[in-house]
């Protein structure tokens, strides 16, 4: 179902509040966007507005083709190039969630990859890569994130955070939660020693079982 501008702005504001409540972002870090209608417009979180009190009228509307703002009182997030690059490269993506969640960010800081320690890894794509560090808000970061994401649903950003995508905002948000849970699970387990990981064959079997399950199913 195609979203109108008003509905998209409400969804983005609500997701921003949930990100803050669930500690997937800190202060005003991270950002959220949704593709509107035929994809010509994006609804995206503004820069510097506290997520805990964000409302639909705070959300900016921008054109995908050039990033020009067409509505909203606040300047769009500094990571707008990241969102635009993902939507341009991935026509299947309708929503992007960028977090600074604790454990996913810690993985990016330590340089350790997210491993298939649980079958839920299959909901993110395989493998979940880590894009090399580039300063936030730049086209260079956007390009690295797109390359790291590939056709998958998540990518870690070295010394920065993480990005998840979906066919709708609920799907992208749930992937952000799954990614953080898997990162916490892996790092917690590794405190006791090397973690066991699922083999390629076991993950292939899990992906078959997971087909049709999860956030994307509701958008069909």
pTM: 0.92
Structure confidence by residue, pLDDT tens digits, 13-31: 999 999 999 999 998 899 9
Q: Say yes or no to pLDDT of 75 above 90.
A: yes
Structure confidence by residue, pLDDT tens digits, 175-219: 999 999 999 999 999 999 888 999 999 999 999 998 866 544 443
Quick one: CATH architecture of 5-219?
3-Layer(aba) Sandwich (3.40)
Confidence at residue 136, expressed as pLDDT on a 0 to 100 scale: 96
Structure confidence by residue, pLDDT tens digits, 111-169: 999 999 999 999 998 899 999 999 999 999 999 999 999 999 999 999 999 999 999 99
Tell me the pLDDT of the chain averaged across its residues: 93
Active-site residue, selected from the candidate residues 14, 21, 79, 177: 79
Six-digit token string for 112: 């350790």
Q: How confident is the model at residue 220 (pLDDT cuts 50, 70, 90)?
A: very low
Confidence at residue 214, expressed as pLDDT on a 0 to 100 scale: 54
Q: What is the mean pLDDT of residues 59-69?
A: 97
Q: At what angle do helices 5-21 and 169-190 cross, to 10 degrees?
A: 20
| Domain limits, the chain | 5-219
Confidence at residue 28, expressed as pLDDT on a 0 to 100 scale: 85
Q: Say yes or no to pLDDT of 2 above 70.
A: no
Structure confidence by residue, pLDDT tens digits, 155-184: 999 999 999 999 999 999 999 999 999 999
Contacts of 103 (CB under 8 A, 6+ apart): 180, 183, 184, 187
Whether the bond between 203 and the residue before it is cis, its omega within 30 degrees of 0, is no
Known active-site residue 220: no
Strand-strand pairing, 69-71 and 60-63:
antiparallel
For 9, other C-beta atoms within 10 Å of its C-beta total 24
Tell which residue, 125, 143, 136, 145, has the closest CA to residue 203.
Answer: 125
Confidence at residue 219, expressed as pLDDT on a 0 to 100 scale: 39
Confidence at residue 24, expressed as pLDDT on a 0 to 100 scale: 96
């Amino acid at each position: 179902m195609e979203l109108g501008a008003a509905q998209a702005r409400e969804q983005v504001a609500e997701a921003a509040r949930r990100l803050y409540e669930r500690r997937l972002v800190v202060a005003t870090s991270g950002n959220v966007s949704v593709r509107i209608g035929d994809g010509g417009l994006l609804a995206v979180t503004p820069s510097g507005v506290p997520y805990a009190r964000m409302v639909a009228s705070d959300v900016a509307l921008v054109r995908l083709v050039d990033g020009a703002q067409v509505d909203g009182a606040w300047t769009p997030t500094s990571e707008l190039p990241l969102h635009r690059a993902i939507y341009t490269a991935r026509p299947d993506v309708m929503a992007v969630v960028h977090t600074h969640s604790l454990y996913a960010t810690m993985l990016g800081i330590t340089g350790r990859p997210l491993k298939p320690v649980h079958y839920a890894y299959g909901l993110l794509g395989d493998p979940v890569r880590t894009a090399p560090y580039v300063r936030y808000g730049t086209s260079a970061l956007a390009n690295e994130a797109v390359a790291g994401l590939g056709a998958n649903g998540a990518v870690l950003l070295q010394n920065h955070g993480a990005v998840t995508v979906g066919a709708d905002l609920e799907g992208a948000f749930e992937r952000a939660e799954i990614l953080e849970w898997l990162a916490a699970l892996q790092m917690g387990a590794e405190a006791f020693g090397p973690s066991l990981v699922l083999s390629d064959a076991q993950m292939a079997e899990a992906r078959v079982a997971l087909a049709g399950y999860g956030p994307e199913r509701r958008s069909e």
